Chain A
Amino acid sequence: MSDLLRQLLMLPDPASEAAREIDVLHFVVLGTTLVGFLAVACVTAWWLWRYRRRGDRPTERVTGSRRLELSIGGALLTLFVGWWVVGFLQYLDLQDAPEGAEEIYVTGKQWMWKFAWPSGRAVVGVLPVPVDRDVRLVLTSRDVVHSFFVPALRMKQDALPGRFTRLDFRADRLGTYPVYCAEYCGQSHARMGATVVVLSAEDYADWVAGRTPATLVPLLKGREVPDVAAEGGLAAEGRRVMQRVGCLACHSLDGSPSVGPTLLGLYGSEVELQGGERVVADSDYLTRALRDPNGQIVAGYDPVMPSFEEQLSAEERVAIFEALRALGDEEAP
């Protein structure tokens, strides 16, 4: 039944359970619309015929009862709110990949998508992901707003310059699925595509480790796949960037005190801000800390951290971000 409807409505085959659930809501909404439309159309047609004009006669004054109107309005409102509840719950569900989701960095730039793995793997235009595992894409953009859209997953998320946004999913069908850019971004907007490749667990592990599983060979042909893995992965790259731009002048990575708080063990810990507010240093917090350092001051420190927004490219920010995440798992000696 669902498959038939999907074909009629030209929906692409879904590649996740969430997509299938969204389709069901889609069918319900569409079905209700059709039923409502037919009801209105039938009544209208009947009255058009029944009360067609026969000569210039006056008509009697008819006014609807307020009761009737309120009850129709109320019924519809209930229906709409019902959709809203279901839709909103689904939306919330889409947003929370559990701890331990596989994180992959996505950088949009005119006009391509670049993907980077904590292991140091990076490639343009092809996104291998593991089947039956939660995946969290961390998106950003190097220039203008783009939007990462995978119809088979019924998912899209804008990639914004200077910010990290997230897109969570769990694909459950092997295969390749097209990606489009859905936010207008200039000349080749229509050609800013990519391919999601859902791989088996083994193949995916191979890919992350720096090997190329057979399924990927044709897709990767002609693409540059730099082997950063040899240099210690994305986190190591992030440390190098931090060293270069001067973060380490004020921050230590080993727990020792400095002008600013140590970055060791920061990620995931609880931070007390000036004014007594306590927040968890999650990815949102770190994003803000880098974007607007003086927007939230850590208790006991001076607001002296400069903004690095103009110096850091999207890729460098991704690397720093990953380094901070990796440091979060380590304990002070």
Chain B
Amino acid sequence: MPFCSTNCGNKAILKRPKTGDTLCKECFFEAFENEIHFTIERAKLFRPGATVAIAASGGKDSTVLAYVLKLLNEKYKYNLKLLLLSIDEGITGYRDDSLDTVKQNRDDYEMPLKILSYKDLYGWTMDEIVAEIGRKNNCTFCGVFRRQALDRGAHLLKVDYLATGHNADDIAETVLMNILRGDLARLSRCTAITTDSGDGIPRVKPLKYTFEKEIVMYAYFRKLIYFSTECVFAPNAYRGHARILLKDLEKIDPSIIMNIIQSGEDLKVNENAKIPTLTRCTRCNYVSSQDVCKACILLEGLNKGLPRLGIGKSSKVKRLLQENEEKETNRLVCNGKDNTCICKNSKVPIIK
């Protein structure tokens, strides 16, 4: 390794993929942290005095995010109340190790930790869902529920912000993926550093301009403990292709990642192009492209003993929902009070 680019006289420990400079350990720590501070300050990510939930999975990104946020909060006096938010899907064996890591984070960084289970959020554990629907389709459930779990959790805890550990590599990969599958709505949103999930709790990405390789190096040299197992959820085909392409591009020049993010930031969807508009789910009030969000459809299926509802095509879902609604209506009984009964003769309350 050559000497540190700052001319401090020390031997460098890494070559920065973002700029090609080489840094020693001490200079790397300060540069790494100051860059995240610069991002937070320049993008005005947090309001002083706010409560921030850090989405903690026990993985390297969220561990480094928690560590650095705590450090910057003290050094630069953000005056933030930080807490860790973890989701327990209730899959026997899967979360145990990573939750242990999160608990370690809690103790090491002296931050409150809130673990919310699927049971808390949805009334069902993943194991119970699997028992209900069999192994084959449980990915659909887990995926949909996981996407909403953090939002629901943040809402439940009444925090002001939800910070996630998405890094520069993740964002570049998402840009490429959205181009491959022609998802214009997400293409124009995926590079935003702050997004709104519809409940007034902004989701922020302080590590947006931080490279994955540097996150790993930072955790290694700071001796941070994290859970280093790959996500058990296989990426979809488009993300898979995007990931392979990005890895190949990085071999030629790692700073391509910053180019891709810049491209994403400079793009906008043509006014004439029709893109699906997002609305709120009429049942749970979360952002959705349909009247009823996928999580609510799946939940309804589970609660009504129709677990396959929502797994298939959306036309089929609509039909099943409709059939279900009809069944529901038929269960209304006249009792001469509040609502009009299906028989139009008398008023009924809705019996669930």
Real complex partners, A and B? no
Binding site for A on B (CB under 8 A): none
Binding site for B on A (CB under 8 A): none
